[in-house]
Amino acid sequence: NAPDVVYFSVPALGLFVYQVTWVKWISAGLIILFLLALLAIHRSSVGLYGALIGTGISILGASLSFGFALLLLNWLPRFHPEAGSLQGSLYHSEGWYVIALTGAAFTIVTGLHALARKWLSVQQLALGAVVLPFVGAIWLGYVAPLAAMNLEWPVTAALLSLLWVTVMGERTTETLGWFLAVLFSVPVLSFFVPVAELLWIAMTFEFAPVLGILIAIGLYLCLPALDSVLRLNSWWAPAGGIIVVGAALGFGILNSQTTAERPAPSTLVYAYEHGTPEALWATDPVIDTMDLPAREWAVERTGSAFELMRDLSIFGYDFGEVPAAAAPAMDTPEPAI
pLDDT digits (tens, 9 = 90+) for 126-174: 999 999 999 999 999 999 999 899 999 999 999 999 988 888 766 666 6
Return the pLDDT at 277: 76
CA distances from 68 to 83, 101, 106, 183 (A): 19, 8, 12, 30
State how beta strands 14-19 and 308-311 pair.
Answer: unpaired
Is the distance from CB of 166 to CB of 42 less than 8 angstroms? no
Distance CA 101, CA 103 (A): 5
Stretches in the chain below the pLDDT threshold 70: 1-2, 169-174, 258-265, 288-291, 319
CA-nearest of 78, 64, 73 to 94 is: 73
CA-nearest of 293, 39, 26 to 155 is: 26
Return the pLDDT at 220: 95
pTM of the model: 0.80
Distance CA 69, CA 209 (A): 5
Return the pLDDT at 184: 87
Return the pLDDT at 336: 74
Q: What letter represents residue 28's amino acid? A: A
Return the pLDDT at 143: 92
